[in-house]
């Protein structure tokens, strides 16, 4: 039994590193690649600055949005609503897990404000 002890221990060490590497690459490297902060101002429910938001797929996106009037800004494709109160900042974070060009609008009137472009 003694002559098999070293190969068994070596095999267990190799197995430990293989399983650990697999867990690390599947759980810790597939998350958000970077953090993207976007500061937004909405005027009168008719215009927004900046009009285009950009990110890469799997970025953690942090939107800080303020409006000079009450209402809802809606990010289509991600189905995210920003329920805004006049001059009160609103922050929302999410992972940009879908690629494409997604419209942003003032929900009550359907007024287009801009778009969110997510590249691979």
Do 44 and 77 fall into the same domain?
A: yes
Do 61 and 101 fall into the same domain?
A: yes
Looking at residue 22, its pLDDT comes to 56
Do 7 and 44 fall into the same domain?
A: no
Beta strands in the chain (DSSP E): 35-43, 47-49, 52-56, 60-67, 71-75, 80-84, 90-95, 100-106, 111-119
Do 90 and 40 fall into the same domain?
A: yes
Looking at residue 51, its pLDDT comes to 97
Looking at residue 113, its pLDDT comes to 98
Do 25 and 74 fall into the same domain?
A: no
Looking at residue 42, its pLDDT comes to 97
Helices (H), 1-120: 5-27
What CATH number has the domain bearing residue 54?
Answer: 2.60.40.420
Q: What is the pLDDT along the chain (120 residues), one digit of tens a residue?
A: 566 666 666 555 554 554 555 565 555 555 546 999 999 999 999 999 999 999 999 999 999 999 999 999 999 999 999 999 999 999 999 999 999 999 999 999 999 999 999 999
Do 26 and 56 fall into the same domain?
A: no
Do 92 and 48 fall into the same domain?
A: yes
Looking at residue 96, its pLDDT comes to 96
Domain hosting 23: range is 1-30
Residue 65 contacts residue 102 (beta carbons within 8 Å): no
Q: Is 44 helix (H, G, I), strand (E, B) or coil?
A: coil
Do 49 and 11 fall into the same domain?
A: no
Domain count, the chain: 2
Looking at residue 43, its pLDDT comes to 97
């Amino acid at each position: 039994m003694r002559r098999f002890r070293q190969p068994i221990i070596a095999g267990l060490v190799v197995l430990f590193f293989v399983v650990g590497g697999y867990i690390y690459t599947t759980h810790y490297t597939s998350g958000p690649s970077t953090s993207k902060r976007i500061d937004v101002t909405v005027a009168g429910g008719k215009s927004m600055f900046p009009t285009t938001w950009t990110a890469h797929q799997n970025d953690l996106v942090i939107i800080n949005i303020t409006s000079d009037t009450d209402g809802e800004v809606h990010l289509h494709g991600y189905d995210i609503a920003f329920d805004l109160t006049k001059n009160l900042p609103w922050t929302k974070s999410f992972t940009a897990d879908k690629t494409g060009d997604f419209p942003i609008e003032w929900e009550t009137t359907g007024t287009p404000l801009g778009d969110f472009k997510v590249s691979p």
